[in-house]
C-alpha cells in the first residue's frame, strides 16, 4: 500500500493536535525563530509528557534521550537583556491547564558535554492571568499560547548554560497524573554580568510530590490559590538571597472554603470545611464540596 507525503504530513499534524501533546523545539532570540532543534536538545520522547513525578530520574532534567543529541546541538550566543523564548513544534499551542516555568543551569565548561547535574535557578514563571470567577482554562497564562519568553537578567554571569522550559499540565493532577512537558536549549551568555543567581535547586528534586500546587483538583474550583510551584522563587537579577517560601495552604481559621483542599497525604493545612463536606477525591487530595 502506498502512502502519500500529504497523508504523512496530515498524520503528523493530527498527532500534534488530537493528542493535545506538544514539545518545545524552537529557540527564539528577540522574537526571531531559529530552526527546529538547532539550539534545543532533541529528545526521544517526542511530544509525549514525562510523568515520573514520584520517582523522577536524571531524564527529568532535559527529557529522555536528549543528552545523546547534546553534541550535535548548536550553542546560541546571547547577551544580557536579550529576550529568550521557546516555541512549540509543528504550530502547536498549549491546551492543558497548568503553570509554566523556565530554569537555567550554568555548565562548568562546554555545555554540549553538560548533563545538567549542577545547580539550577528559576528565571521565569507564569500561572494565572485571568479573573478566576470561577477558575477556567483560559485563566491560565499559558492557555492557547505557542511560545513563551523571558528577558535574560542584565547581570547574568557570562558562561554557557542549559535553559529548561517546562509546562506542567495538571488536568489529571488529582489522581497523580501530572504531566511535564520540557526541553533544554544550549546558550552562551556574553558580557561581564556579576549577579548571584538563586535560590538554587537540583534536578531531580525540583518538586515535592506532595506539593498541593501540583496535586490540585481543578474541576469545580473557584480559584487556584498558589502563586508559585516549587519551594523557590524567580531570580530577576542581583543576589540570590534565601529560598522563597513554598506554596502556602489555605488559611486554617475556620477550615477550608468550598472547593479548597481539606486533606490528603502530605497535606498540612486545614482538615475541616467552613462550608460543605470534606470528601476524598484520592489519597493525595480531599476537597470541600457542597
CATH number of domain containing 66: 2.70.50.70
Whether residues 37 and 159 share a domain: the answer is: yes
Are residues 239 and 195 part of one domain?
Answer: yes
Within-domain flag for 257: yes
Predicted local distance difference test score (pLDDT) of residue 174: 75
Whether residues 273 and 137 fall in one domain: no
Q: Return the pLDDT at 285.
A: 62
Considering the domain architecture, whether residues 153 and 287 belong to the same structural domain is answered as no
Let me know whether 169 and 279 are in one domain: no
Q: Which domain range does residue 172 map to?
A: 13-248
Q: Check whether residue 59 and residue 154 sit in a common domain.
A: yes
pLDDT score recorded for residue 239: 76
Per-residue cell: 81: 537583556
Question: Is 72 found in the same domain as 216?
Answer: yes
* Domain match, 54 and 122 both: yes
156-172 confidence digits (pLDDT tens): 999 999 999 999 998 87
In a domain, 189, yes or no: yes
In the chain, how many domains are there?
Answer: 2
| Residue 230, pLDDT score | 87
- Asked if 185 and 285 sit in the same domain, the reply is no
In a domain, 3, yes or no: no
What are the grid coordinates assigned to 20, written together? 493535545
Nearest by Cα to 152 from 193, 111, 200 = 193
Residue 17 host element (H or E):
helix 5-18
Report the SS3 class of residue 125: strand
214, 232, 248: which is the final residue of a domain? 248
Last residue of a domain, one of 231, 248, 265: 248
80-93 tens-digit pLDDT:
999 999 999 988 89
Examine residue 74 and state whether it is found in any structural domain, yes or no.
yes
Alpha-carbon span 118 to 106, nearest angstrom: 8
Closest CA relative to residue 173, chosen from 217, 222, 226? 217
Which residues lie below 8 Å from residue 60, measured CB to CB, with a gap of 6+? 50, 52, 180, 203, 204, 206
Rounded to whole angstroms, what are the CA distances from 40 to 16, 43, 144, 165, 177? 19, 9, 22, 10, 26
Say whether pTM exceeds 0.85.
Answer: no
Give pLDDT < 50 ranges for the chain.
Answer: 1-19, 241-253
* Same structural domain, 17 and 108: yes
Is the same domain home to 225 and 206? yes
pLDDT of residue 51: 75
Question: CA neighbours within 13 Å on the CB side: how many for 84?
Answer: 29
7 in a structural domain: no
Amino acid at each position: 500500500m502506498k502512502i502519500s507525503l500529504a497523508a504523512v504530513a496530515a498524520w503528523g499534524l493530527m498527532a500534534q493536535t488530537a493528542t493535545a501533546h506538544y514539545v518545545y523545539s524552537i529557540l527564539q532570540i528577540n522574537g526571531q525563530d531559529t530552526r527546529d532543534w538547532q539550539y534545543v536538545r532533541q529528545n526521544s520522547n517526542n511530544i509525549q509528557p514525562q510523568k515520573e513525578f514520584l520517582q523522577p530520574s536524571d531524564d527529568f532534567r532535559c527529557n529522555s534521550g536528549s543528552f545523546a543529541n547534546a553534541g550535535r546541538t548548536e550553542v546560541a550566543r546571547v547577551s544580557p537583556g536579550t529576550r529568550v523564548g521557546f516555541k512549540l513544534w509543528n504550530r502547536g499551542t498549549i491546551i492543558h491547564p497548568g503553570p509554566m516555568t523556565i530554569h537555567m543551569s550554568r555548565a562548568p565548561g562546554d555545555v554540549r558535554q553538560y548533563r545538567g547535574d549542577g545547580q539550577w535557578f528559576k528565571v521565569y514563571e507564569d500561572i494565572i492571568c485571568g479573573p478566576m470567577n470561577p477558575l477556567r482554562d483560559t485563566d491560565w497564562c499559558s492557555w492557547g499560547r505557542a511560545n513563551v519568553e523571558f528577558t535574560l537578567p542584565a547581570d547574568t554571569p557570562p558562561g554557557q548554560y542549559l535553559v529548561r522550559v517546562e509546562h506542567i499540565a495538571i488536568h489529571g493532577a488529582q489522581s497523580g497524573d501530572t504531566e511535564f512537558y520540557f526541553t533544554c536549549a544550549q546558550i552562551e551568555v556574553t558580557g561581564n554580568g556579576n549577579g548571584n543567581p538563586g535560590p538554587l535547586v537540583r534536578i531531580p528534586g525540583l518538586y515535592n510530590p506532595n506539593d498541593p500546587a501540583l496535586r490540585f483538583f481543578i474541576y469545580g474550583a473557584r480559584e487556584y490559590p498558589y502563586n508559585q510551584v516549587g519551594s523557590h522563587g524567580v531570580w530577576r537579577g542581583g543576589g540570590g538571597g534565601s529560598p522563597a517560601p513554598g506554596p502556602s495552604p489555605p488559611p486554617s481559621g475556620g477550615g477550608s472554603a468550598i472547593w479548597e483542599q481539606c486533606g490528603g497525604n502530605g497535606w498540612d493545612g486545614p482538615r475541616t470545611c467552613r462550608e460543605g463536606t470534606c470528601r476524598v477525591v484520592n489519597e493525595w487530595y480531599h476537597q470541600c464540596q457542597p
